[in-house]
Copies of this chain bind each other. A is one copy, B any other.
Amino acid sequence: MIPTATLLFYCDDKPGILASITDYINTHNGNIIHLDQHVDSEEKLFYIRIEWEIDQFDIPRDKIENQLKELFFQNKYAQVFDLHFSDTKPRMAIFVSKMSHCLYDILARYEAGEWPVEIPLIISNHEDMGHVAKKFNIPYYQIPITKDTKAEQEAKEQALLEQYNIDFIVLARYMQVLSEDFVDKYPNKIINIHHSFLPAFMGAKPYHAAHKRGVKIIGATSHYVTSDLDAGPIIEQDVTRITHRNSINELVAKGRDLEKIVLARALERHIKHKILVYNNRTVVFG
């Protein structure tokens, strides 16, 4: 595998950006293997994800970011700027409560090498999933949370995240609302799975609400966590049909399959640096 660099950014749409970035990479012997760009003509914004092989690239790795910033920042183009190298795996922490379906799904993919990611630790407010962590030899920290202990316990969690050099967090059916302080420290770095088709049925017990409303389709939504509950940028959604024959328990069971697949798709896109967030929405590149 030839190592690659992946650059994502967005900026005001002006003529010549695309020519300029492709020319820069080309001139320095980078071989572009993936480019996906999009112009939002309503917002007048240009979005791009570009990936190129860097084995022949004549700019040293540690100089690329600064050079790109000089070229594209500085009142010129980009407002957000994200550069990754394919041989550096992001490090993901899993937060989980008592349900195992998303956890097993993630760990089975991890063990099979499906994703270029490291999972150095699992944090839970309960002991229930400890045996799963043990099966996969991943450190498991039980950090119970009550209203009174929330601040100090979240501090412990953050200390662990630093200790393990965590890049981003997945809430794999973690049944605690993170404090605003916590969330603000990890902008676009905390991925949640909500068990409804957002914005329908925000908050607690969405399957009960869906059953009561009599919907014919239920869904699941993976999104970045913001301080506004269940209102962060949506990464991925999917749905499944139900009928009047389905009890709430059956909705919950059907929902589990949705949840784990939708969460996995969102994680893969984040891990592979395919997502740009703008204005509480996501651009998910192909």
Contact = CB atoms under 8 A, between A and B. Distances in A.
Given A19-B26, A35-B37, A284-B244, A234 B215 contact: yes
Interface of A: 15-16, 18-19, 22-23, 26, 31-42, 47, 99-101, 104-105, 108-109, 111-112, 114, 135, 197-201, 213-217, 219, 233-239, 241, 243-245, 247-248, 253, 257, 261, 264, 280-284, 286
A244 B19 contact: no
A99 B282 CA distance: 32
Nearest to A108: B104
A282 B19 contact: no
Contacts of A36: 36
Given A33-B39, A35-B37, A199-B213, 6 more contacts: A108-B108, A197-B200, A214-B281, A214-B282, A216-B234, A216-B235
Contacts of A281: 213-214, 244
A34 B18 CA distance: 11
A210 to B, nearest CB: 9
A236 B215 CA distance: 8
B112 A100 contact: yes
A109 B241 CA distance: 21
A26 B18 CA distance: 9
A102 to B, nearest CB: 10
